[in-house]
Amino acid sequence: MSLYEYDNYLRNRDNVKVIVGVDEAGRGPLAGDVYAAAVVLSDDSIEGLNDSKKLSDKKREKLYEFIRMKSISYSVGIASVDEIEGLNILNASMLAMKRAVQALSCEYEIVYIDGNKSPDLLIPSKTIVKGDALSASIAAASIVAKVSRDEYMTKMDGIYPEYGFAKHKGYGTKLHFEMIKKYGICPIHRPSFLKKIISL
């Protein structure tokens, strides 16, 4: 079953027409905001659409442009580092998802969310484990969230160039650990993620 066929299966199963796919990016990094995206795809299929983790940066960015052009509506929600620290990363991710859904500019009937936990929404929602590899709508959301967050981390690289954010996007790479040990942490680091690495 293709990703688009799976979305049609969901529509038939739940007796709905307009569906939203939601996914997040940035739960694991040591630095930066967590991003989420919500996407309502049109009937115009996008060739090559897939889980963002299975795509090269170049392919992901190209698909991101097609999603922006061909979707009925898409939006991005963000939860800040302060919110991650105050709420924990899971709850901050749920907040980013909720903000993404609330920012959509069209009517919809149900929200399908990647994973096993759903944010508190006023409209029906269902979770789909590994949904980004099954559903076209969720795969599109995974791409929008990932590309949007990568662009943000590249901008942060310009503000804090010593950490190499443009290369590792805040994840715990060898280079990132070395730079933290050398320079300490900066305002976009997540202190709760770094307790075992550096004395705070």
**pLDDT tens per residue across span 85-132:** 999 999 999 999 999 999 999 999 999 999 999 999 999 999 999 999
H-helix or E-strand spanning residue 171 = none
| Neighbour count for residue 185 (Cβ, 10 Å) | 19
Q: Using an 8 Å Cβ cutoff, are 160 and 188 in contact?
A: yes
- Between 172 and 199, the higher pLDDT residue: 172
Which one is the CATH code of 3-148: 3.10.20.340, 3.30.420.10, 3.40.50.2000, 3.10.450.50? 3.30.420.10
Write down the pLDDT at residue 53: 86
Domain ranges of the chain: 3-148
Taking the C-alpha atoms of residue 78 and residue 76, their distance in angstroms, rounded to an integer, is 7
Write down the pLDDT at residue 197: 72
Mean pLDDT, residues 54-79 taken together: 96
Taking the C-alpha atoms of residue 94 and residue 81, their distance in angstroms, rounded to an integer, is 14
Q: Is the pLDDT of residue 200 over 50?
A: no
Question: Measured on CA atoms in the order 139, 94, 89, 115, is the torsion positive or negative?
Answer: negative
Q: Using an 8 Å Cβ cutoff, are 136 and 7 in contact?
A: yes
Q: Average pLDDT over the chain, rounded to whole?
A: 95
Write down the pLDDT at residue 129: 98
Q: Is the pLDDT of residue 198 over 80?
A: no
| Neighbour count for residue 57 (Cβ, 10 Å) | 11
Query: Both tokens of residue 181?
Result: 């040990």
Alpha helices in the chain (DSSP H): 3-14, 57-70, 81-87, 89-102, 136-159, 165-168, 174-183
Q: What are 146-162's pLDDT values in tens digits?
A: 999 999 999 999 999 99
Q: Using an 8 Å Cβ cutoff, are 126 and 14 in contact?
A: yes
